[in-house]
A and B are shown apart, each in its own frame.
Chain A
Amino acid sequence: MTMIFGIPLPALLGQLLIGFINGSFYALLSLGLAVIFGLLRVINFAHGAQYMLGAFAAYLLLVHTGLGFWPALIVAPLVVGAISAIIERTMLSRLYDLDHLYGLLFTFGLALIIEGTFRWYFGAAGQPYAGPALLAGGTNLGFMFLPNYRGFVVVASIVICLTVWLLIEKTRLGAYLRAATENPQLVQAFGVNVPLLLTLTYALGAGLAGLAGVLAAPIYQVSPLMGSNLIIIVFAVVVVGGMGSIGGAIVTGYVLGILEGLTKVFYPEASNIVVFVIMAVVLMLRPAGLFGKEI
Chain B
Amino acid sequence: MSSLTDTGAAQVESRERQKAHARQRSLARIGLIIAVIAVAGLIAAPFFVYPVFIMTVLCFALFATAFNLLLGYAGLLSFGHAAFFGGAAYFTAHAVKVWGWEPLLAILLGAVGAGLMGLVVGFVAIRRQGIYFAMVTLALSQMIYFIFLQAPFTHGEDGIQGVPRGDLLGLVDLNRPLNIYYFVLLIFLVGFYAVWRIVHSPYGHVLQAIRENENRAISLGYRVERYKLGAFVMSATIAGLAGSTKAIVLQIATLTDVAWQMSGEVVLMTLLGGMGTIFGPAVGAALVVTMQNYFATSDVPVTVIVGVIFVLCVLLFRRGIVGEAIRFLKR
Contacts and interface: CB of A to CB of B under 8 A. Distances in A.
B302 to A, nearest CB: 8
Contact of B139 (A94, A103, A116, A236): A236
Given A43-B135, A119-B303, A276-B140, A108 B264 contact: yes
Interface string B176-187: 000000000000
A100 B131 contact: yes
Interface of B: 77, 124-125, 127-128, 130-132, 134-136, 138-140, 142-143, 146-147, 149-150, 260, 264, 267, 271, 299, 301-304, 306-311, 313-315, 318
Contact of A102 (B127, B307, B318): B318
A284 B146 contact: no
18 contacts: A43-B134, A99-B130, A101-B131, A105-B267, A108-B310, A113-B308, A116-B301, A116-B302, A116-B306, A117-B304, A233-B139, A235-B138, A236-B135, A236-B142, A243-B132, A276-B140, A280-B124, A283-B127
Interface string A258-282: 0000000000010011011101100
B136 A283 contact: yes
A276 B120 CA distance: 14
Contact of B271 (A105, A235, A236, A273): A105
Interface of A: 43, 91, 94-95, 98-106, 108-117, 119-120, 229, 232-233, 235-236, 238-239, 243, 269, 272-273, 275-277, 279-280, 283-284, 287
Given A116-B307, A239-B136, A287 B314 contact: no
A106 B267 CA distance: 12
A252 to B, nearest CB: 13
Contacts, number: 120
Nearest to B125: A283
B146 A273 contact: yes
Given A104-B77, A105-B314, A239-B132, 15 more contacts: A43-B135, A101-B77, A104-B131, A112-B304, A112-B307, A113-B311, A116-B301, A116-B306, A119-B301, A229-B142, A232-B142, A236-B142, A238-B135, A279-B140, A284-B127
A101 B136 contact: no
B121 to A, nearest CB: 9
B259 to A, nearest CB: 10
A104 B264 CA distance: 11
A96 to B, nearest CB: 13
A117 B302 CA distance: 10
A276 B311 contact: no
Contact of B304 (A99, A113, A280): A113
Contacts of B131: 43, 100-101, 103-104
Contact of B307 (A43, A95, A113, A279): A113
A273 B147 contact: yes
